[in-house]
Structure 1
Amino acid sequence: MTEQKVKKRGWVKNAAIIFLAVMLVLTFFSNTIMKHSLPEVAAQYVQSGSISAKIRGTGTVAANESYEVKSEQSREVLSVPVKVGDKVSVGDILLHYSEGDSTQVKEIEAALDALVLEYKKSLINASASGDYAAEKRAIELAQKALDKAKADKSANAVTAQQLTDAKAAVKKAEAELEAQNDKVTELTDRFSKLTEGNDNSSEIDVKSAQISAAKSLLNNMKSLSFKAGYDNITEWAQAWMEIDKGKAGTLEDYKAALAQLLAPCINSDGSLLTEPTVLAGTRPADLEYNPQTIRGIVDAYTVISTQEQKIALLETELNSLYVSDGGGSWDYQTVKQQLKEAKEKQKTLDTAKKDADDRLAEMEKMKTDFETADKAVDAGQTTYEEALYALEKAQKDSGKQQALDELNMEAQRKQIDDKKEELDSLKGGGEGSDVKSKVNGIVATINVSAGKTAEANAVLMTVEVPDMGYGLSFSVTTAQSKKVALGDAAEVTNYWYSEPLTATLVGIKSDPQNPGTNKILNFKLQGEVESGAQLSIALGERGGNYETIVPNSSIRSDSNGKFVLVVVSKNSALGNRYKATRIDVQVLASDDVNSAVSGGLTTSDFVITTSTKPIEPGTLVRLADDT
């Protein structure tokens, strides 16, 4: 009995030891499993130091200085030989005006003619006695002479561009005629050599006819008798080439390869072997792999390639019938015909050259006649006015002119003199037929085109002056503008060319769009840049020292504001436990990496920057290096 009790107690003791051992093992493994199921976090200690924030903005590049090309008078534009983006130098022609007077000159001339007419009527209707036939005759003759001079001037108007075109036409005709003369000489020499041999024209004709017939038969094969097979192999070869894009080989090479691969697939009984694996995926979807289609492809390629070889052989035989003189192969009849056609063209070009010379001479004479007529208009106007004044004087001398008429005519004379002075001023200050650049630069805008009228004082085009540099600007808040200073260097963040490009802050002014809240920052650019480009600028604020600085990735926010999560360690029987704890912060300043904050942080706090799973305040976590 006692022995049995001892054995029973021993069994209970052993069972208890085993149970405790099992519980210890399970506890160890459950701790390990739990740790690996927790979110893994990376953390970093709070630091102190300086923060330099960045002010960023985007602006359009524009030249610092531009030259506006304006029209002095209203004139019709003949042509604009430049385009936007062209570089121009001082003296380069920017546009051509049509020949003739401006709209203002024509209007003043018309007004002057009307004043003179009214003055003439006043003279004729004046209550004067006596015979003024001689004076009136002089006025009539002067009027006729003036009208004729104006008609001659109008009839002989020629533009500078027309003269330039006529001269260019003469040079072109000379060059073409000279080239044709050389060709006639070359063909004459060639024909002289060929006439020493035999005329084998009949053999060439026979061989040419054979080639023509063979080509006709080939076209018939491709379009009628073997059209289906020929179209199918062409479509298949093109699809195969597209798949092999980038590899060497022509369409004909792929056709030959297809025929070579498909021919062995046709059995003697008309059935087909399996499609070659090398062609897998190359056959168009609409092309079936069946005996009729494959037989048609192979037969078409065989017959057509044989016919093409026959044509090539015939052409080789034809070429052997031509005579070579070092510059190529020629036959008697061909060279004879070429020489005949060359001489006919030579005659045509000679006539064209004479016509061009005559046209140039005619236009140069018109230019001379125009200048002569222009002087005659001025002289005729003076003669006409003098005749009018002579009649007036004769009437005055007669003592019969009424006081009212005299006052009226005196006012008319003053109007005529004023209008003539205005006309002389416009003619004397005219800008000529061409408008030339006064600066070295790049054409930025063009506001006129050929055939349009350039109004007086209108901006015709704008020329940027690159020598004065380029700049850009953008708007920032007033608070941001106080954190930068003139002369600060900025970084161009979207410029990736090898040449350096720098930006310097040169101006701070009120933003007219938002004068109460914003400022405009103006930057000077130095480097290779073009007007109209969009550039992004980053400008560093002056830095400040802060006691608590954390990575930007550690800052979180919700409806209660911004906060960070710090790792808080807690000891337990199974080891250290780490919990994410919330601390509210306020961001004082930021750069691209870190932010200075205020709140309940110290440099001994360990802030969480990243985690493998979403975490909330109070969540148990494990550190990245805590395995």
Structure 2
Amino acid sequence: MTDAKSEKENRDPAKKRSIIRGIVIVFLVILLILTFFSNTIMNRSLAQVTTSAVTSGKLTERIRGNGTVEPQQSYEVTVSESATIDTIMVKKGQEIKKGDILFTLVGSTSDEITKANDNLRRANLDYQEYLLNEKQESDTQNDKIKKARESLNEAIEKRDEAIANESYNNELKNAKANAQSAKTYQSAIKEKLNTTILAIDMDDYSEAAPEYIGDIILLKGKYDDAARIYEIALESASEDADAKQAAMDEAKTAYENAKAALKESLLSQLSEVDSEIERLDSELASYEENPAVGGESISELEKSVQTKQKELEEAIQDANDKNESNKTVNDLKLEGYKAAIEKAEKELDEAKKNANSNDIVSKYNGIVGDINTKIGSKVNEGDTVMSIDITDEGYLVKIKVEGEKAKKAQKGAEVDILNNFNNDIQAELTNIKNDTVAGSKNMILEFNITGNVNVGANLELSIPCGSGNYDAIVPKSAVYEDKKGNSFVLVTKSKSSPLGNRYYAEKVEVEVVASDETSRAVRGGISAGDYVITAASKPVSPKDQVRMKDN
């Protein structure tokens, strides 16, 4: 009975119509919901763009460029005589004043002093030879002259023997001193190498030896500057942050590669220094086994020679006085030899007075540039050992720009330095000249730099080139360039639909006629009131539908 009733209800036409009507209503509701939200769903898949209105008005055109700080003038420090570098008192990048000591030298006895000493010794030897060989007619009868000559000969032999012994002793002493000095020098080098290697590992070069670090500080400075510029660009959401990061990565790679190469070189030098110190220790030990030869003092023996020489002079003079025929001639000879000795003594005194100081001092105020020597190195007369950047003459930056752009720049213009974070550097355009590269259409702009700046620093300059009024000015980020090098902008165009306005990107070719740091004046198919795309959530091509970013 119950089953029959259920079957009857299922076959009831009214009941079926009710079910169908419910299904249709649900379908229509779903369709209405999908239709209502279709615009929103579609928008989620479109590129979201930021736009800016095209404006008209005044724009100050600018040229941008990067350049490295150079000294306006520098001078080379040279040595006036052969010597050995004993001490280096400064390091690269250090500020110095006129008169500051740069180097000290050892073994810098003037050649004139050595020559004067040789001349005096030769004059004395000539005189003694004359006294010993001069024959008098009465020599056979004059025992006084004979005995005086024998005494002088004996005194000279003793002196010469002592000189020979002293020469051996001096050679031994000098060899030992040179070995000890070389060991001291090598030990100093070892300490500097170890200190510099540690500085490389710590990235702190304040204690590093300047003669070993080369341009590593400059490369580190460029990396630090690039990192700081990138951080600022990142914090300010700058549009060229990617370019700044690429520059930072490039500077970091250059710095890290230089560090690795420098450390490898220093470790190799350290190994060589250790081997040399071991060799010098063996050499010093051998000198201890060969003692010096003793003997009388050369100064005392020289006094004895002078005494015997004077006795012979007096004996010959007495003989000449008795022999009137030889008196005048012999007197003249004696006076000639004495005059030669006096002249040699005066030349020696003069050479000592004119001897150069062992200190090399700076002639100007400035900054130490390249150091071309190291402690213990031998330098010859005229060698350049250092360069000094003269700070009193100021600094210089050069940048290369297109010839057409350079024509718009004016000498005397005050230039903005974009990476002058402390506002303590000033730049002025002082010269515009042709590029020296053959066939180049570029120009070189030269700037006078003042303030707290160092040689080697990289400055990012912005040069004003005059103002003008333009009909269409757009943000710099709105201008693109196609594969052919033509400039264009993407303008948003709206189309009405039942569900509201839809926006599309339209390509419009333009010509850039002027630009500054943020904007560009263009000429083409746009005018004030149009909207150009300045940024997008993903790449946008002409005719693409886009969605506008809510303001």
**Structure-1-length-normalised TM-score:** 0.44
Larger radius of gyration: 1
**Structure-2-length-normalised TM-score:** 0.49
